[in-house]
Amino acid sequence: MGKHWIGTIQELEKIPMKRYDVKGNDIFVVRTQGKYYAVSNRCTHEESYFSQEGEVEDTTLTCGRHGARFDLQTGAVKALPAVHPLKTYQLAVEGEDMFIILEDTPKPQAAGLRDLGI
Ligand code: FES
């Protein structure tokens, strides 16, 4: 799917977090401690969006709805009630430009006849 320019780092100067739509992926980009992170904008607990209710401290993203916490670096859950990790995205900064690198989605392998019980 390739490398997609999303904007410049100046967009995160005043408010260090912003939502981007990249080829249908709802992505939340955060600048914290001088680094940039990109994760899914949707909390894995319920229907909440970090762009509306997210708070960041160091490299921890907290959902404002019920308080689940995630590691921005890995997407790992740091506090309940969420139990599923966040999807993370590769973000590259080149000069003042930011890019999201989307990986190719592997095509599902066709089930073999044995898998189908035939
Ligand atoms: S919706 Fe995010 S913690 Fe519940």
Question: In this predicted model, what pLDDT tens digit does every residue of 67-114 receive, in sequence order?
Answer: 999 999 999 999 999 999 999 999 999 999 999 999 876 555 555 555
Average pLDDT over residues 15-22: 96
Among protein residues, the one with the nearest Cα to ligand 1's atom 1 is: 46
Give the nearest ligand 1 atom to 63 CA.
2
Q: How far is the CA of 47 from the centre of ligand 1 (A)?
A: 7
Nearest to 61 by CA among 46, 91, 41: 41
What backbone phi and psi angles, to 5 degrees, belong to 12? Answer: -110, 20
Report the top-level CATH class of 2-102. Answer: mainly beta
* Tokens read off for 99: 């890019």
pLDDT given at position 47: 85
**Candidate from 47, 62, 63 with most ligand 1 atoms within 8 A of CB, to mutate:** 63
- Per DSSP, the three-state class of 16 is coil
110: left (phi over 0), alpha (psi -120 to 50) or beta: beta
pLDDT given at position 105: 64
- DSSP annotation of 84 reads S
